[in-house]
Amino acid sequence: PLFNIDDSSGLNAWADLDRDGDLDLHIEAWNRHLLTNTLDQRPGFAGSWLRVVVLDAEGRRTQQGATLRLRRVDGPAGVVQARAVDGGSGYLTQSEYAVHFGVAPTGTYALSVSFPSAGGTPVVVDGHRVSWLAAIVPGSLASRTITVFRDGRAYLGEWNIAATATGGGTLSPN
């Protein structure tokens, strides 16, 4: 094995802490360990990832259970990467809510996000609602992060809420 760390505690979380496109691992056992993934430093890695942030209509990261599907449009038929928004299932830990996909930088992809609905039809945000989600070429993007809102909006880049004095918020791009 590359690492010999006792992780019997179940206290671990995955996130792209250094925002370089690969997931890093934090282990909180008897001693704290941060395992920084260096995949981004290998030849051929540049641009081979997409990060998708899924938000509710107000910009909150509360969309656990939303399902993302990334299909390569110019590749083999039927090949789909699927992920669910999940903060992790470790004991007393939470992984990053953003969803990560490995991609070919020059490939063309279509992204679909299906939001669960209590007792009704799921809300789907895809190329039918936001046309550019049907033809994403990762290597040509200014940002490798895509933000998708439950109300059908999608933006290139990550959006955060800036809290106001009244407890509300405004959306602003990073």
Q: Tens of pLDDT along 76-88? A: 888 899 999 986 6
Query: Phi first, then psi: what are they for 8, rounded to 5°?
Result: -70, -10
β-strands 67-72, 24-28 pairing: unpaired
Q: Give me the amino acid identity at 82.
A: A
Paired tokens of 27? 């282990």
pLDDT, position 63? 80
In whole angstroms, give the CA distance from residue 34 to residue 56. Answer: 31
Query: Phi first, then psi: what are they for 146, rounded to 5°?
Result: -120, 135
Q: What is the pLDDT of residues 111-157, one digit of tens each?
A: 999 998 877 788 899 999 999 999 999 989 989 999 999 999 999 99
CA distances from 32 to 4, 16, 70 (A): 13, 17, 34
Q: Give me the amino acid identity at 114.
A: S
Q: What percent of the chain has pLDDT over 70?
A: 80
Q: What is the pTM of this model?
A: 0.79
Sign of torsion over alpha carbons 159, 39, 49, 78 = negative
